[in-house]
Structure 1
């Protein structure tokens, strides 16, 4: 069983002669493949074979056509050679996806020893995927072609036998191609992945989007209006992400070696993450912190940091939730991009609490949990870049994720989201998955909100939307959730933006009515106490009763409970302008209302004389709405004075 790459040996001693024709032929591909060297390519195949052997599923003995070596559950160690590891993931995923083709290759592989069969299968399906074509690599100057390559060129005839075997299988089953053996969902995703454009965000700390566009046009690329207009040498701007550009997939190699990418002025990343970061823009506060929790790449941290820097903000990352290699990768990327406003905490996210000194400036939390990745056309790059769970490759290669796996993922997602809602100073939470399953998306968010415990002095979290109200073709639903369906133009994602908001039916009159019901208004009916600005006939009151006069602090306390004010009397929580308009309260800024009521009564003087007396009641309502980053801040003060 292959668990880790063995020491490299000369090609002629790596495989026994029984592996011919597959393995001996593929040695030529190893030594002529680009851009990896022979040793790197061999390491990629060995790692891919180990992943395939670990993730494959065994059929009942009576249905087995191929007999692999003994299966092990040994964890796969991460490699510091990220390029080789990514290629190994891709090779293993392609082999798992094409496992239905096994009957077609049975006659070719029947003589291969079981322990070497995983390696042979990985090689075979890589050949088939490339239609048995070599990627020629020119010999570097000063080097001669290895003698072993010359000797093995005589084995090239073997590819004809391999191709013929697959062709016979295809003809017997009446298929146009071998890929027709795949399920419809797998074949659709495979087709979309080959057409998917490239997305890259601009580092606005180094340059501007306009300067990058000018540089690209100077290199011969043309700018078009929409993604559907993209051609091989064209690019356009993303309609949802103002700092993101879209390129044809044929430009990948050119972009990878461009100066813009080398200096991190342009950063290639999947659109599903770029959209989630863009949803943060209207939520950022000046001089405040943003915390990133869950599963994410180093580029995601850098992208959020660039946005936060525009508001003099800082980004927090829980280092204990990252693998050592992932933490090292984050630090390297931040150092290369000269980013300083990031703090990597030593704690796990779920170990932080409201009393921790590191979260006192925390206003926004971004929750990017591990998910099923079912909305991605090809999940390999995401699993690789985010150091995700490679065990998902088995389920995704067959087009669906098991219910047990979904339940396990949803449990962890709910745990992260519940904890994110416990920080009293946090105003907004952005929750994002790359999943199409409601169990990970809207159902989970609704369940968490319904069971969330909110401090009585704080406004509860509610779904806030729309996330992109002005975006063309916005997919916002009536529930205010945002989702992008996977297509040949983009991978899919789900976004929920949660914010502390007042109830939609809550008005100042509702607050006063609730205060009156609790006896905080001193027996005064709020409907009778309020008068119109245009004037209302003042009524005479009966002699004052012995009821205790109204305590202004009591009323203000009630209003603070409903509007989220702090001890200073100014609301610390944003109230969206759309909510105020729905209540007809947008014109009440700096509005004061006074109600003076005068009455006369007769008292007995000290000597039995009767004298006239006056008393005055003054009710003052002050409503203040202040527009600040994050929303409209509302302050309401009610006071009552009685003068005799």
Structure 2
């Protein structure tokens, strides 16, 4: 029997024939396809039209991004190559200003740009091997546009493109498409030679190992959303998704979430997790459009939740880097019932200001004030910020913990220049020193504010130089200055994580809490990130006692917050929104919040680490275990002296009795982390 030609479709290469002989009389094995399909094979299975996802408008926008972020052209001469690398290090990336008509176009543009950057070396080899620029010299000035079109052409197996419905075609892009289509045979053959040369089973195998691993991890990363408590409640959102066919289940750290399942996060109380394949569906969900939920990576939610745990009632908050405004809105959502004003620094331009204002208005964050200044340039004694007690510093870092750069840029509004280094799996060492210096300056400036008691520092980096080193040096520097100036204020110290840590996290990854820092490695379930909390006690002992109690209440020790609990039988979330209680005298604060009788002695001890079991929060009437303390390392013992008079059960008599009681505050000094050195 003569040789039979089979199309090598399984490896992503269209038009290249693989010769095989008929080994038996049982017939030829058909090409792979979806096993759910029950129709018989036909000729069209071998000539399937690859769909086109990108419009001419996306090509134009992606070409501009590629021109700005492209890697240096390969140079064979070692001297010239070294000289070119030095020039590229000193060259600042100028990213063009782009106007996207909608979110879908924005996502597709960054997706195509990032893919072209990843395959830049391969695409340049195809152009050189086929002498495209020599054959079509009129396209030399449109190198970026040619590259993004060629990348899409290769992805579609070098098939002719079918315009999208209602698409407006650009004549110049049409000329480039026709030129590439005229040499499709040469391009296909050149691609086959590259795969044979490097023994690559697929196009992805031509990428560096770090990029392949990043793509694999990013493809499985779940979708995280946080519930906007300014507009709705967690229970309402859960019920809405259940009506849409989603299945709410208990969190399981050993399993990867799939299908229509979703669960509540164990670290961040208002965060819900969905499967990776639901990314597009969740992004276009009506709850997102109306601002009831916000799609944002969980790593960006650790900072707002840490801030929530360290603020007291009436305190002002400062956020050093506003970026897209989502973090500002999240802080406002979590602290709506307690904090005063939230100040956002780092607005870059009038356009940036308008964009952030629109985001805050859409999400209902009305207690935010935007400052058109860099945080480090504001005077520490500025009267506008005299009541700022907590500061969130979201660092500008290498983003080495990011595994899905496209989603991160779209959702976070970050600088698109991070695509350049992440496309080759490298960290920008040349700029790391500058970023570390800026972050250290921001931390030192935050600790110089006279009344600040807590600073939260977060990064999306897994490099210790940007994390541990920056914060320890900043603390050492500011404490040294305070000692030289004979400052009586308490020294700043690193305090344990203030968000709940699950026991399974510590068992599976002991590095999660290390040196009192909160660290998450880059995995298919979580973006790599870093979170640290620095704090000091107030000079006034009564104010310190009040702050400790307020933070304990925020952590759930003296009154739980809204938690998600699921009944396995009917799968109904049992959560009740917290009711606002009327303001009463501060003398009954502990008895009211803890649920203990006024005659009982209430003692709150705050040790080093906060560790809770899954789906459990401290009951108000249950004694706090030693391993589940929070916030600041000093305890407050509240002792009430009983009067000999009989307490009546009527409200009037209780009020009179409360006035006659006296409360003594005794500060119990613990050895760490805030005890003063003698």
The two structures share one fold, judged by TM-score above 0.5: yes
Following the alignment from structure 2 to structure 1, what is the Cα–Cα distance between the partners of residues 258 and 399? 28
Following the alignment from structure 1 to structure 2, what is the Cα–Cα distance between the partners of residues 223 and 211? 13
The answer to whether the 8 A contact 1:500-1:573 is kept is no
What do you get for the CA RMSD once the two structures are aligned? Answer: 4.1
Cα gap change, 1:182 to 1:570, in 2 (>3 Å): closer
For 2:74, the equivalent position in structure 1 comes to 59
Flag the structure with more relative contact order, 1 or 2, with Cα contacts below 8 A and sequence separation at least 6.
2
Structure 1 unaligned segments of length 5 or more: list them: 1-30, 502-562, 593-621, 636-644
Cα gap change, 1:564 to 1:46, in 2 (>3 Å): same
In structure 1, which of residues 186, 195, 198 is the aligned counterpart of residue 211 of structure 2?
186
**Structure 1 residue 96 displacement after superposition:** 2.3
Following the alignment from structure 2 to structure 1, what is the Cα–Cα distance between the partners of residues 181 and 476? 65
The answer to whether the 8 A contact 1:308-1:315 is kept is no
For 2:62, the equivalent position in structure 1 comes to 45
**Structure 1 residue 245 displacement after superposition:** 0.8
In structure 2, which of residues 461, 484, 491 is the aligned counterpart of residue 460 of structure 1?
491
After superposition, the C-alpha distances for 1:503-546 in whole angstroms (9 at most, x for unaligned) are: xxxxxxxxxxxxxxxxxxxxxxxxxxxxxxxxxxxxxxxxxxxx
Cα gap change, 1:459 to 1:125, in 2 (>3 Å): same
In structure 2, which of residues 295, 298, 319 is the aligned counterpart of residue 292 of structure 1?
319
In structure 1, which of residues 109, 115, 122 is the aligned counterpart of residue 148 of structure 2?
122
**Structure 1 residue 115 displacement after superposition:** 2.5
After superposition, the C-alpha distances for 1:610-635 in whole angstroms (9 at most, x for unaligned) are: xxxxxxxxxxxx972489xxx99999
After superposition, the C-alpha distances for 1:401-446 in whole angstroms (9 at most, x for unaligned) are: 2432111111111111110110121111100000011111001111
For 1:360, the equivalent position in structure 2 comes to 386
> Does 1:103 find its partner at 2:135?
no
The answer to whether the 8 A contact 1:199-1:245 is kept is yes
> Does 1:577 find its partner at 2:608?
no
For 1:373, the equivalent position in structure 2 comes to 399
Which stretch of the first structure deviates more once superposed, 569-578 or 215-224?
569-578
> Does 1:332 find its partner at 2:358?
yes
Cα gap change, 1:355 to 1:200, in 2 (>3 Å): same
The answer to whether the 8 A contact 2:309-2:499 is kept is no
In structure 2, which of residues 418, 422, 425 is the aligned counterpart of residue 392 of structure 1?
418
The answer to whether the 8 A contact 2:306-2:498 is kept is yes
Following the alignment from structure 2 to structure 1, what is the Cα–Cα distance between the partners of residues 248 and 214? 28
Q: Which has the higher strand share?
A: 1
For 1:407, the equivalent position in structure 2 comes to 433
**Structure 1 residue 589 displacement after superposition:** 4.3
For 1:90, the equivalent position in structure 2 comes to 111
Following the alignment from structure 2 to structure 1, what is the Cα–Cα distance between the partners of residues 412 and 169? 38
For 1:557, the equivalent position in structure 2 comes to none
For 1:346, the equivalent position in structure 2 comes to 372
**Structure 1 residue 224 displacement after superposition:** 2.9
- TM-score of the two chains, using structure 2 as the length reference: 0.65
After superposition, the C-alpha distances for 1:218-240 in whole angstroms (9 at most, x for unaligned) are: 11111233363422222121121
- TM-score of the two chains, using structure 1 as the length reference: 0.68
Figure out how many residues of one structure are paired with residues of the other and give that number. Answer: 501
Q: Highest CA radius of gyration, 1 or 2?
A: 1
Following the alignment from structure 2 to structure 1, what is the Cα–Cα distance between the partners of residues 397 and 170? 46
After superposition, the C-alpha distances for 1:284-304 in whole angstroms (9 at most, x for unaligned) are: 211121111135322211111
In structure 1, which of residues 251, 254, 278 is the aligned counterpart of residue 305 of structure 2?
278
Following the alignment from structure 2 to structure 1, what is the Cα–Cα distance between the partners of residues 543 and 407? 50
For 1:198, the equivalent position in structure 2 comes to 223
**Structure 1 residue 176 displacement after superposition:** 1.1
Following the alignment from structure 1 to structure 2, what is the Cα–Cα distance between the partners of residues 97 and 261? 31
For 1:564, the equivalent position in structure 2 comes to 539
> Does 1:490 find its partner at 2:490?
no
Cα gap change, 1:123 to 1:424, in 2 (>3 Å): same
Following the alignment from structure 1 to structure 2, what is the Cα–Cα distance between the partners of residues 402 and 470? 32
> Does 1:79 find its partner at 2:98?
yes
Cα gap change, 1:75 to 1:262, in 2 (>3 Å): same
Cα gap change, 1:137 to 1:456, in 2 (>3 Å): same
**Structure 1 residue 249 displacement after superposition:** 2.3
